[in-house]
Structure 1
Amino acid sequence: MATSYHQHMVTLVMMAIVSMLMALIYIRKIDPFLLHQTFRRDFTIESHQNLIPFGHVLPRNGSFAADKTSVGASENHTPSGNVVRLLPLPNNPKLISHPRAIVSHRDNGDLRKSVIAKFNNLSTFNKSDFSREKQEAKINQTVPDQDKMKQVSTTCSPKKNVVLLKTHKTGSSTIQNILYRYGDNHDLVFALPKGRDNYFGGNTRFSRGFVRPLPSGHQVNILANHARWNKKAFVAMMPNNTIYITILRHPVTQYESLYIYYNWEHYFHVPFHEFVKDPAKFCDILGRYISRAPVHSFKNPSLYDLGMKIGKKELGKDVVEGKLHSLEEDFHLVLLMEYMEESVILLKELMCWSWEDVLYFATNSRSQNQINKVTPEMSEKLLEWNAEDWMLYKHFNKTFWTKVKDYGFERMKKDKMILRKKVEEIKTKCLQGTKIVSEVGTTIKRYQLSVEGKKDKICSQMVTKALEYMYFLNDKMSKLS
């Protein structure tokens, strides 16, 4: 009898263990990030008070590297109707490898009930509902055969007239190098600043008077130096068929980069994490000590570059939204630093250029020990301080992914593989490594040419610093006849 009782108990224990194992297997089908978000309120993207850069995966210490932002593209719904934004990943193996669902905490109650229901009926929940492929299919369902519709025209002609409105600390030097090379190799005419400055007019909106004079009879093709946007002046100087582009970066990582680049810690005598607690109180100090560029970068630097007058007070939602719609009409393409590959591919398509024309090495990249860690609380403060730039970034993040959708997700995926392969090939040909150099109060990585690379024109062009290339082009323009 005792033996029978023990056998019965062993059977019950084994059944319990098997049940637990089966439950764990099924639970793995539920996206752990989604479950985590259900009970976390500091990841919401619905208000400035609770915002952090989209797509970050926080380590246990609650901080992240400021230069590893990933920004989202699409909004969809869970099976229970909760609003979910799916965020495409950057090319960063340190981040998780599946799309993330970030849910606003206004829906947390319903979502929590939904998740509990899924545990009670696990067989009805399929993780693939949140896959990037399925979400892209939903986006594309109203655009049948879009990849076929968007095939590259074999009759398009390369465009030669282009303006890059170069913004600060956004990766714009990488795009500038592409334009410099194209214009140089096709003997196009550049608009360049007077003297040896990299800026057209510093803090003043662009005017033709800031441009180095050209011999009579020459029409400008390319402008790619820093300038404040002034549509009237640009249109008056450039040909009618000019392409206008600019580039943006997430305001949090952009601001962290500006703080280091302009060496504000030297003037304020506080580290970045202390400065972020109350940026406004340092504004007057900055004006007393620094006479040029950093003042205009102190608040909403991207909108300032794009022509808006920026002060300590907020501009107001209606004013900013009006400016955003105006900029959307003015620019053919607004690139995103966080998605440089997609940006360059869209630029290639827009300009009808070749792969070789748009190959690039990232320029002015800082060494990792020079990048401040930014916590969610710091991010929140920076987004409050740069609220108008945050509106700008979110607006053009949406237009950017609309253009990617129109280009075709599958086509983009294939072209990214082509681009990466070609970049690796030219790196192998041109480079033998990098070296760390000190520039403008920080340390950055500079590329070193291989023996073969030193003999190759394209290799040399791709690693030439912006100012050195500009001086070369100045000399070339002065010899126009």
Structure 2
Amino acid sequence: MIIFAIVYLSKNKIEEFPVTIAVNRKTPNEIIESEFESFLECEKSTGENIQNFYLVKTYKAASSTLSNVLYRYGLKHGLSFVEPNSLKTNQIFPYSHLDTVSKYPLIPSCGKTYNLSTIHSRYEGKELLEKTMPKGTRIFGSVRNPISQLISFFNYMDVAAILKRKGININKFIKDPLMYSRKYLWFPKYFKLSDSPTEFSMWNQQSQVFGLYDYKIPAGVGRKQILENVIYQQEIDKFLERVDREVEFVFIAEHFIESMAIFRKMFQLDYSDVAHFQINSAVKNNSKDELTEQQQDLIIEWSYIDWLLYQRMLDKFEKLKSNLNYDLNYEVDIIERTSARILDFCTTPNHYKIVQGEFCPIKLLDLSKEGQKNVCCKRITQQEWEINRILKELMKESSAHC
């Protein structure tokens, strides 16, 4: 630090002029290079700001990208993960952590609790969660406009190809998605309702993950029935209030980078911790813009509780943004440029390869020659199934030496 001061001396007084202070601060480019170097040392940990996280992992709402961020954070700090013991599954939804004793046993943790949960599971309240995770665990999640979510589901699960053989297009599907889901779609690991083992659908899926008690509001109940039933309205109000109170922060998928910037500041993470590549993103076949207003309204009618959840979380997000005491655009810029710097090093620029996934083609970036040798680069582009396989191996190895 260099301090310049100009003073005027006289017999009787010292007259002070404004002091000019020049401080050596990092420029944005220096920050990005520093965070890039930090990323490349992803096996190392400063030991600072270690926190426990539970991700309310919503389907097709950027949650795989978020779990990838937590995955890298947990490995960097040597934390324990919630992982099902079975090699055949990487999730326990529609069950919660507490159901796993009889449903999906978890790989034991050396401690009584786990530091991180990045898998699909049902959130049933902070009190119950703290039986498997430490008290004070930071709870966050993500939501998405249910119209966009349904389109993403349609693309990612390759529903179009399945229904095409039956002569059903997306417009026909939207008129009665629950009926067509029940009749033609069989995705139990993604869309089972917790009280109805024979039901497979996208009915209010986001609210299901956040813990909506569907036995009080039967599957298929839509906007019209809810507006005519006071009991339904009361249950939904209780549900929304609990989410608002207990879930500390919710990502808005349509405002992902802004959400990530706020998340980073709120939970005191490094820029390199939140650098990301979009994971589990299907090649786009349909988009929300292709639907008429009437078709979009039909989706809202069907997933009305999800629409209410989304609107409430969006309002909460906008209020939070309006009260920030820092420059959000600056934060967004650093995150975007840091991610671009990392991906430029790790990946072959502007080159995608299409890999046929279990349900549909998924976008993956090819690693560059340098990136292929770097464990950090592999982590930031790894698909979810590969991440869970690695975590299971680490957890089992750890538990064997407790």
TM-score range relative to shorter protein: 0.7 to 0.9
Flag the 1:286–1:426 CA change in 2: closer, same or farther, 3 A. Answer: same
Match of 1:115 in 2: none
Match of 1:271?
Answer: 169
TM-score under structure 1 normalisation? 0.63
Alignment of 1:10-409 (within 5 A): 158-207=49-98, 208-209=100-101, 210-214=104-108, 216-217=110-111, 219-231=113-125, 232-265=127-160, 266=162, 269-286=167-184, 291-296=188-193, 297-308=201-212, 309=214, 310-314=218-222, 315=226, 316-369=232-285, 371=287, 373-408=290-325
TM-superposed deviation, 1:246? 0.6
Distance 2:95 2:131 in 1: 17
Q: Which residue of 1 aligns with 2:364?
A: 446
Render the CA deviation track for 1:433-476: whole Å, top value 9, x for unaligned.
Answer: 22122223322211111111112222111011111111111111
> Alignment partner of 2:121: what SS?
strand
SS in 2 for 1:342: helix
Residue 345 of structure 2 is aligned to residue 429 of structure 1 = yes
Contact conserved, 1:163 with 1:224, CA < 8 A, in 2?
yes
| CA distance in structure 1 between the partners assigned to 2:285 and 2:202 by the alignment | 23
Whether the 8 Å contact between 1:169 and 1:258 is mirrored in structure 2 is yes
Taking structure 2 as the reference length, what is the TM-score of the superposition?
0.75
* Letter of the 2:85 counterpart: K
Per the TM alignment, residue 281 of structure 1 is displaced from its structure 2 partner at its CA by 3.6
* 8 Å CA contact 1:159, 1:351 repeated in 2: no
Shift of 1:370: 5.5
Higher relative contact order (CA 8 A, sep 6+): 2
Counterpart in the other structure of 1:414? 330
Q: How far apart, CA to CA, are the structure 1 residues paired with 2:308 and 2:296?
A: 15
Assess, with a 3 A threshold, how the Cα gap between structure 1 residues 445 and 371 changes in structure 2: closer, same or farther. Answer: farther
CA–CA distance in structure 2, aligned partners of residues 290 and 340 of structure 1:
27
Partner of 2:16: none
For 2:187 and 2:374, the matched residues in 1 are separated by 41
CA contact (8 A) 1:261 1:442 kept: yes
User: What CA distance in whole angstroms lies between the structure 2 residues aligned with 1:172 and 1:246?
Assistant: 8
SS at match of 1:230: coil
Query: 8 Å contact 2:156–2:281 — kept in the other structure?
Result: no
1:34-56 Cα shifts (integer Å, max 9, x gaps)? xxxxxxxxxxxxxxxxxxxxxxx
Secondary structure at the residue paired with 1:368? coil
Structure showing the higher helix proportion among its residues: 1
Give the drift of 1:218: 5.6
1:189 partner amino acid:
S
CA deviations on 1:362-407 (whole Å, 9 max, x unpaired) are: 1122223455732222111111111111000000001112222222
Distance 1:478 1:278, change over 3 A: closer
Question: What is the distance in 2 between the residues matched to 1:206 and 1:270?
Answer: 38
Query: What are the ranges of 5 or more consecutive residues in structure 1 without an aligned counterpart?
Result: 1-155
* CA spacing shift, 1:176–1:198, aligned 2, 3 Å: farther
Rg larger in 1 or in 2?
1
Q: Alignment partner for residue 376 of structure 2, among 455, 458, 471?
A: 458
| Aligned-residue CA RMSD (Å) | 2.3
CA–CA distance in structure 1, aligned partners of residues 346 and 202 of structure 2: 38
- Partners of 2:175 and 2:331 in 1: how far apart? 43
- 2:366 matches 1:468: no
Report the Cα offset of residue 214 of structure 1: 2.0
Question: Contact 1:434–1:447 (CA<8 Å) still a contact in 2?
Answer: yes
Count of residues in correspondence between the two structures: 324
CA distance in 2, matches of 1:420, 1:405: 21
C-alpha displacement of 1:298: 2.3
| Percentage of matched positions with identical amino acids | 23
SS at match of 1:175: helix
1:230-255 Cα deviation digits (max 9, x unpaired): 22431211111210011001100101
Letter in 1 for 2:315: K
Shift of 1:158: 1.3
Q: Is contact 2:112-2:132 (8 Å) kept? A: no
Quick check: 1:198–1:225 contact (8 Å CA) kept in 2? no
